[in-house]
Amino acid sequence: MSEVATLRDALEPLRSDPAHAAVLLDIDGTLAPIVRHAADAHVPEATRSLLIEIAKRYGLVGCISGRRSTIARQIVALGSIAYVGNHGGELLRPGSTRVEVDPELAAWTDRVQEFAKRVFTRELQRLRVRVEDKGAIVAMHWRGAPDENAAAEAVRTLAAQAEQEGFEVHWGRKVAEVRPPLALAKSAGIEQLLRESAAASTRRVAAAVYVGDDLTDLDAFRGLRSLVEAGELGRAVCVAVASEEAPPELVAQADLSVDGQAGVRALLEALL
């Protein structure tokens, strides 16, 4: 069976009833290629064009990101879909300019910011560790640093200090995030979107697909499957974006995998 036929067959629960189906996608490493500087990320026009058509056809389309929701929308450049940001801590609804922030998360902003300012030393700057300010979350990136090993070791030292001071640290692909000790999870934002969509149409969502490339996307997989088990979602299709840096456990727990952004575009085409 060809790759296209395999994708179409796997996605048939969505294709057969698009008005009551959900298409949920990570951004970095999924819709947008991983880049040296996080601020340079963008969704290729070929991918964005497909996403526009999908937004017209499917009942719910959303991007679920570790970025702030406003930055996520800027990267995708599409205002007609929903954005869940900061790993489930923010929601930006289609067409809205008002970000809905989890009050518990917002309450930690000043403390996280104070910590980041205090620990981001000249040595980290010399090593070219870059800070991404996400309000109540601060990310430290070292991709593309002149000495990535030295930069990573410096970030590990910073991470140990963060944990000693009561913060949580999450590790990604050449990035570490200092977070509040809260239960941040992409699944929380996904569950909210799906339940609101079901309430609006007075029937449960028939099927949902989630596509992601990193460890945080495992939580999204678990969230969708738990909704199926609870009878709140008809079918779930969990898709891993394979790459040299993709966590093996993500691929192992996915229903199927696609190869990089070209594979994601093939999946979007199959949905159409």
Q: Looking at residue 127, which CATH number applies to its domain? A: 3.30.70
> Do 195 and 254 sit in the same domain of this protein?
yes
Q: Which of 179, 206, 222 is the last residue of a domain?
A: 179
Instruction: Name the token pair of 62.
Output: 């959303």
Contact 48, 77 (CB under 8 A): yes
| Final residue in a domain of this structure, among 131, 160, 179 | 179
For residues 37 and 78, state if they share a domain: yes
* Tally of structural domains, the chain: 2
State which of 150, 179, 208 marks the end of a domain. 179
Each residue's pLDDT tens digit, 88-99? 999 999 999 999
Residue 158 belongs to domain spanning: 104-179
The alpha carbon torsion through 99, 105, 110, 112 (nearest 10 deg) reads -120
Average pLDDT, the chain: 92
Handedness of CA 34, 40, 41, 46 (dihedral sign): negative
CATH number at residue 229: 3.40.50.1000
pTM: 0.89
Instruction: Flag whether pLDDT at 217 surpasses 80.
Output: yes
CB atoms within 10 A of CB 167: 20
Do residues 82 and 91 make contact, with C-beta atoms less than 8 angstroms apart? yes
Confidence of residue 245 (pLDDT cuts 50, 70, 90): confident
Could you give the CA distance from residue 154 to residue 160 in angstroms, rounded to a whole number? Answer: 10
Provide the pLDDT for residue 2. 45
158 and 224 in a single domain? The answer is no
Residues 189 and 126 in one domain: no
Residue 1 has pLDDT above 50, yes or no: no
1-15, 90-104, 220-234, range with the lowest pLDDT: 1-15
Q: 205: Cβ–Cβ under 8 A, 6 or more apart, which residues?
A: 20, 21, 22, 59, 60, 194, 197, 198, 232, 233, 234
For 81, the 3-state DSSP assignment is coil
61 & 126 share domain? no
Residues 61 and 131 placed together within one structural domain of the fold: no
DSSP string, 161-193: HHHHTT-EEEEETTEEEEE-SS---HHHHHHHH
Distance CA 73, CA 92 (A): 9
Same domain, 96 and 192: yes
Q: Same domain, yes or no, for 108 and 79?
A: no
Are residues 12 and 22 located together in one domain of the fold?
A: yes
Give the C-alpha separation, 260 to 140, whole Å: 24
- Same structural domain, 89 and 216: yes
H/E segment holding residue 66? none
116 and 86 within one domain: no
- Cα separation, 51 vs 30, whole angstroms: 13
User: Quick one: how far is CA 257 from the chain centroid?
Assistant: 16
* Same domain for 219 and 87: yes
Nearest to 135 by CA among 159, 110, 162, 117: 110
DSSP H/E element including 101: strand 100-101
For the chain, percent of residues with pLDDT exceeding 70: 98
In which band, very low, low, confident or very high, does the pLDDT at 4 lie, cut at 50, 70 and 90?
A: low
